[in-house]
Each structure stands twice: as C-alpha cells, then as structure tokens.
Amino acid sequence: MMVRPSSSFLLVGLLWLCCWGAMARAGAEYMAYKDPKQPLNRRIKDLMGRMTLEEKIGQMTQLDRANVTAEIMRDFSLGSVLSGGGSVPREQASPQDWINMFNEFQKGALSSRLGIPMIYGIDAVHGHNNVYKATIFPHNVGLGATRDPELVKKIGAATALEVRATGINYAFAPCIAVCRDPRWGRCYESYSEDPAVVIQMTDVILGLQGEIPAGSRKGVPYVGGKDKVAACAKHFVGDGGTTRGINENNTVIDRHGLLSIHMPAYYHSIIKGVSTIMVSYSSLNGEKMHANHELVTRFLKDTLKFRGFVISDWQGIDKINYPLHSNYPEAVLAGVQAGIDMVMVPFNHTEFIGIVTDHVNNKRIPMSRIDDAVRRILKVKFVMGLFENPLADESFVDKLGSQAHRDLAREAVRKSLVLLKNGENAHTPVLPLPKKTKRILVAGTHANNLGYQCGGWSLTWQGVSGNNYTAGTTILSAITAAVDPSTEIVFSENPEADFLKSNNFSYAIVVVGEQPYAETKGDSLNLTIAEPGPQTITNVCGAVKCVVVVVSGRPVVIEPYVSSMDALVAAWLPGTEGQGVTDVLFGDYGFSGKLPRTWFKTVDQLPMNVGDAHYDPLFPFDFGLTTDSVEQL
C-alpha cells in the first residue's frame, strides 16, 4: 500500500514534534540549583530566578511544629519549622518519633513546586535538652567556669550528633550574651560577665558546625557535613546588659561600651562561620533591637560582613509594639526593614505572609530586601547540603545519650565546679572527703532531684522537678556509687536538730540552690536560695562538719551562711551527670574551676562587675581554690 505524500509529511511532522517535545522537556528538567557541581552563587541565582514572590516570603517564614502540616509546608513553601521549649512529637518521644515527624515535614517541603528543603530549628542550648534521654551538659555559666575552649568545642560536636540523631539540623545555640547583672533570668545562658571568656567559648560553634577548612574565606557560613548542624549566635545585641537585669528590657550603654562588652563575641562567631544570628527581644537605648536597622543591617551585615541569615526570636516582631501583636503590619514592616531575614512567627503563617506580600506590592518593602533575605537563607541551606541530603540520616540514632557523651558531660561537670571555701585555712582543708568512713549525711532539696540539677531549658521550657523525666545520675546516686561499700549513707532532705545529734555523722554534704526557671520567670531582685535551703544549711552546718554544694544558675545570697560552712562549692546547673560532682568532692580529680562571674555580698551591690569602681565582692571574678587528686585506699 502506498503512503500519500501528505500523510508522509504529517507523520514526519508528528515525529519531529515528539522529538522536539522530548528534548524540550529534557532541557527543562535540568535545573542548575539542583546540581551540586555548580558553584554556590550560580545555584542560588538560578533558584531565585524561578521563585515567585509568595515562595520567597514562604522561605522567610518559620512556624512551630504544633502549627504545621506537610500540606502547609508544600502549599506555602515554608522555609523553616521549629520546636519551641518543650514542643515535642509526644511525651518521652524516641529518636525515631522525632525522625518520623521531621521527615514528614521535609517531604511536604520537597513536594512544593520547587522542592526547597526546610531547615528545622530547636533550642539545643546545653545538649539536645528537649529530648528524652539526651545528654544534658552543664549550662553555659558552668562551661565558662572551665575556661576550656577545647572542651566546649567537643560539647558542641556531641550536641550536633545528638541533634542529628533526631533528624534535626539547626540549633538555636550558642547564647553569647555577656550577663552583667545576675538578677537576669537568663544569666545561666551566659558564659561570663567578661567578654574575653565569652569570646573563648565561641569555639562551641566549631563543634556544632565543624572546623572551617584552611584557606576558606572568613565570615562565610560553614556547616561541615551530615553530622553537623547550623548554629545560631544569640541574642543580638546587648541582651545581658539590661537595666536591673530585667529580661527583654532596655540596655543603656554608649557606643564604646557596646562595642567593647557586648559585640566582640559576635565578631568572633562570624569569623568562625556561624550560619545564623538571632535578634534580641531587648532594646538598646530605647530602640527595640528587632527594629534596629542601624545595628542589624548597617553594622552586622554591612560592617561585620555577616553572610548568613538573621532570625527573629519567638514572636520577636510581635513584641516590637506593646501590647503583644498590636499594630502588627507596622511591626512586620519595621522588623523586615531592619534586616531580619527569617521570622519566627510561630503561630499564624497566613497573616504574616499576607502582610509582607501587601508591603511589597505597595512598595513599602523593596524587592531588594526580600531578595537579600532569601539569598541568605538559601545560602545556608546549600552550604548545609540540604538539597543533596534533605531527609534524616538514621545512622546517628545511637548517638543520643551515648556513654561517650555522658563521659564528656561528666568531665565538663568536674571542670566547671568552683571551690569557694575549703576549711578555715590552707593548712586544714576539708576536701577531698574520705570515701571510707562510718556514716555520711546527704541533705538538701537538690541532692536527689535530676530536674533541679538540669535547670531550665531541660525537657520543658521552664525545666522540671524530679527524677522521672529523663535518664541521668543525681548527686545522691553519685555519692552512693563513689564511697566505700562499708560507708553508710543517710539521706534526709531537711533534717531536724535531734536527728542530727543522735546519728553521729562523720560529715555532711548539703546540696541546695535555685529551683528551675527560664527567661522572665527567672528574673529575681533578691537572688535567694530556695527554701528550705537556708534552714538546712543552718541546721546541718551547726551540728556536723559540712560541705555545701550550691546548684544555681548564678551567684546567690550565701554571705550570711559562709562562716558556718566548712567547705563551699559552686556547682552551677551541672545537668544529667552527677558523678562529675563526686569526682572532685572525693578527690578522684582536683578542683580547677574559676568563677565566670563576680560573687556579690548583697544584692544592693548589683550590678557589680570586675573592674567597677565599687568592686567589693564576696568572691571576685576568676576566684577558685584548687585541690590535687588523691588516691584513696
């Protein structure tokens, strides 16, 4: 059968169209931003060129996990999810529970039109502290007492592994505030009153993110592999200097003071490749930091050359105006124009996205500001390798709460303890204590309370009381394990005088301190030890040779009781590994910690920091008695 010419032309035409369509589709499928062989800037430029305004604003939005679904991630191309303090998939959630949740949200993000992966943030501020059975390290004030940057770097690396064990890839840490007044409820999140100590401790970033390769450009975000996380230096800037230590309040300081006290650790964090910086709730000389264009854009981005992204604090933009969330469109405009790139909304994404869209459409926010924000966010995501490895790596699951990390935490505890008194003079030291003796009294509210040991930001935002919330070792349990089997240990939380007289104790260990708190709930004008702590000290130390261990997030009022104590130890908030306390009490290791903060006599002296004209402390900054390790038979 002959084919008519017209039919031949038609057939050839159809074949050509099919081939052309296939080639066109093949060409369209190549997207430079998905090609890891392409240079970073080309990938960013290619992706941004494909994005709509709505997708760009979506990338600037961060929601709490309780308000997110995979469909929301897909439909709004959201850039990030977070777990606020205590926001967990379920009580006592396993690493697999976290991974399943993370992957669900990530798959939602990947199913959006352009498939941009999300970044998931969490407050892993002293270990992966929201997570059941994670290793909880000493809070920053204790780490500042170690004066050991290498130790802190190891803690950063261990924390990164435990965070990755749950699939998460972004830690809101470290806090590099310079706490100048212990009445501040976040003082334990500060390494020291001295900016030089805080600068040392920024080495934690090298642990969290990895060491920047030799020859790399300084100041560029760096995350070195699947076992590392993006870090976040916070809270920019001056949060530790507020008047009377009131959280989120106003820091009154001149330019020289700002640059010499509160700013240096940010410069060093940027040099070490920190990926993100969080803005402070506080004000500086009356201007809200979340609306401070001069410092966020002109100084941080333009002068210090920070190339990562700037993130708000939880509802930080809502707090620009009072009361909370009032004049919200105006606050959003001020915050975004100040230079905030990602906004921790964290509840209502549609309202925020709608407002930013309206501001752009009406030329109140220029596209250049949106593009700057998105470029920075995408840079961090590309540097992290999220486009190549967006889902959780389940090979890290066994790192959560591992023995190696608990051993590291124990080392950190013993190096963080500061010995403030050891007998009446150097010739009659009380410590180290003998392990083999007749009978030891262990007393105090904090001796057998793992939650109190850990403090705030532990399992929940405000912390917990008791031993049933996570895995760890109380100080009482550590004492029991450390002493000779023939030594009798008697525990009485608040013993009465008759009990003390009738039991013929060799010595007593009294463990008292502050109850857990976080942020504003920790603001305190009196800084007293929680009751019945003072009564326990008075009763026990009046009847028995006593060592007092203070578990607190900051110096507290102890001057009235010191004369009755035979020895005094500042244990800060040591976390889950109580054996670190007994390691030095019984002389397996010597005391080496130095005060990271001035210990005042009375709160009337505050604020008082080393170098002040009125400096008259009970124990000065950098004070700490030392002991040698001993071998006990």
CATH (domain of 130): 3.20.20.300
Residue where a domain terminates, one of 345, 366, 396: 396
pLDDT score, position 28: 60
Does residue 342 sit in the same domain as residue 448? Answer: no
Q: Are strands 567-572 and 418-422 parallel, antiparallel or unpaired?
A: antiparallel
- Report yes or no on 203 lying in a domain: yes
Residue 242 and residue 113 in one domain: yes
Question: Do 189 and 145 have their domain in common?
Answer: yes
Q: What is the pLDDT of residue 633?
A: 63
Q: Do 178 and 238 contact (CB within 8 A), yes or no? A: no
**In this structure, are 524 and 435 located in the same domain?**
yes
Distance from C-alpha of 598 to C-alpha of 623, rounded to nearest angstrom: 9
Residue after which a domain boundary falls, among 364, 396, 428: 396
Sheet holding 567-572: strands in order across?
418-422, 567-572, 546-551, 507-513, 439-443, 488-492
Same domain, 391 and 428: no
568 in a domain, yes or no? yes
Q: Is residue 29 part of a domain?
A: no
Q: Within a domain: residue 458?
A: yes
Give the side-chain half-sphere CA count within 13 A for 189: 28
Per run of 10 residues, the mean pLDDT along the chain (length 633 residues) is 44 45 54 97 98 98 98 98 95 98 98 98 98 98 99 99 98 98 98 98 98 90 97 98 98 98 98 98 98 98 98 98 97 98 98 98 98 98 98 98 98 99 93 98 98 98 97 98 98 96 96 98 97 98 98 98 98 98 98 98 98 98 97 77
Q: 55, 189, 193, 313: which one is catalytic?
A: 313
Q: Which domain holds residue 575?
A: 417-619
Domain assignment present for 228: yes
Residue 137 lies inside a defined structural domain of this protein: yes
5 part of a folded domain:
no
Q: Quick check: 322 and 19 in contact, CB under 8 A?
A: no
Same domain (yes/no): 183, 85: yes
What is the count of structural domains for the chain? Answer: 2
CA trace torsion 250, 255, 259, 260 (10° rounding):
-100
**Is 414 in contact with 577 (CB distance < 8 Å)?**
no
Catalytic, 519? Answer: yes
Any domain includes 404 = no
Residue 40 tokens read as 């970073």
Same domain flag for 429 and 540: yes
Give ∠ CA 384-388-394 in degrees, rounded to 5. Answer: 85
Strands 276-279 and 283-284: unpaired
Cα-Cα end-to-end distance for the chain: 109
Phi, psi of 552 (to 5 degrees): -155, 165
Spatial contact of 579 and 411, defined as CB atoms under 8 Å apart:
no
Q: Which residues contact 567 (CB under 8 A, 6 or more apart)?
A: 419, 421, 422, 423, 430, 431, 546, 547, 548
**Structure-token pair, residue 27:** 């060409």
Categorise residue 233: left if φ over 0, alpha if ψ from -120 to 50, beta otherwise. Answer: beta
Same domain, 390 and 440: no
Going by C-alpha positions, the residue among 76, 80, 82 that lies closest to residue 111 is 76
Burial of 428 (0-12, 13-18, 19+ CB in 10 A): exposed
pLDDT confidence of residue 216: 87
Rounded-to-integer distance, Cα 118 and Cα 106, Å: 6
Same domain, 357 and 456: no
- Based on the domain organization, do 151 and 190 belong to the same domain? yes
- Give the SS3 label for residue 552: coil
Residue from 221, 202, 272, 230 nearest 122 by CA: 230
Active-site position among 519, 523, 566, 583: 519
- CA-CA-CA-CA torsion sign (93, 96, 102, 105): negative
Identify whether 532 is preceded by a cis peptide bond (ω within 30 of 0): yes
Tell me which residue of 464, 471, 472 sits closest to 516, measured CA to CA.
464
Domain co-membership, 183 together with 76: yes
Q: Would you tell me the crossing angle of helices 149-164 and 403-416 to the nearest 10 degrees?
A: 150
pTM: 0.95
Is the same domain home to 612 and 551? Answer: yes
Query: Would you call 313 a catalytic residue per the annotation?
Result: yes
CATH of the domain at 604: 3.40.50.1700
Q: Where are the alpha helices (DSSP H) in 165-248?
A: 195-201, 204-209
